Amino acid sequence: MSIFIEKDTRVLIQGITGSEGSFWTKHILGIGTNVVAGVTPGKKGQKVEGISVYNTVREAVAETQPDASVLFVPPKFAKDAVFEALDAGIRKVVVIAEGIPVHDALQMRKAAMNEKAMVVGGNTSGVITPGVAMMGIFPYWIDRVYKQGNIGIMTRSGSLTNEVTAMVIKAGFGVSSLMGVGGDSVPCTRFAEFLPLYEKDTATQAVVMIGELGGTMEEEVAEAMEAGIFTKPLVAFIGGRTAPVGKKMGHAGAIVSGGQGTVAGKIEALEKAGALVADRPSATGELLKEILKK
């Protein structure tokens, strides 16, 4: 079982004929994802990896009934692409693009909440249920790092995701559902909003959170744990612990404001709520063993 994408989820790829869309379509299909259609305006009638291309999402929905959509479109077109998917009735959307204008991201999040939809991203590697399906840009050697199992992973980082997940696998575990929240300053779905899904998921025994300096998403997870919204074991690794205090960072989400968003503050809040926090990625697997024994 997955919290987002299953073997029978019917996936649409928006921007399928572009260089990124066509490249990743091959890999998305390669692990068994049920891709039913693609969309690129003006390209109707073409095929990418055997997948039919339509001009609009509405055309694709009418012909193929997709349940979810992954977007390979430039940041300035992401909002329109998300709105088009939502207007056509799709309620699961993954947005890969990095650097979406903040005002656009705010509108995307609001629209998703109004439609009771889940939009994941932007600036995300995507989502994956290992061995089943994926919507995103996970590496071609995916089968060596992402093994099936019962550990949920939610992450703000791209590169750290591969490293931490490898440590989880090395410790003898596997992954149930991995959700890439994304690294931009306004993610359309936040960490704490995934927790009720992991809580209900019988395939998830524990969750690993890969957080970062800046923002308040990790503190929100601690609050959800304190409130009893999430009761399963949680292990975290927070990136940016060696960043100089007061240093301006290049990452869009790495904003420390009003005393919130520091690595030390995140660690304190999480440990108080009962989570274990790794001091380095390689410790994540061993902490999972420790917390599951309890």
- Please list, in sequence order, all residues whose beta carbon lies within 8 angstroms of the beta carbon of residue 200, skipping any fewer than 6 positions away: 3
225 in Cβ contact with 274 (< 8 Å): yes
DSSP string across 77-101: HHHHHHHHHHHTT--EEEE--S---
Phi, psi of 255 (to 5 degrees): -115, 120
Beta strands in 50-183, from DSSP E residues, in sequence order:
51-54, 68-71, 92-95, 118-121, 126-129, 133-136, 148-155, 175-180
Q: Which residues are catalytic?
A: 251
For residue 76, give both structure tokens: 């300035």
Structural tokens at position 145: 């790092």
Nearest CA to 51 among 30, 37, 34, 70? Answer: 37
What distance in Å separates the CA atoms of residue 225 and residue 60, rounded to the nearest whole number? 41
Which residues are bridge partners to 148 per DSSP?
A: 175
Number of Cβ atoms within 10 Å of the Cβ of 252: 20
State which amino acid sits at residue 280.
Answer: R
Q: Is 239 exposed, middle or buried (0-12, 13-18, 19+ CB in 10 A)?
A: buried
How far is Cα 221 from Cα 211, in angstroms, rounded to an integer?
A: 11
Nearest Cα residue to 155 out of 145, 143, 144, 170: 145
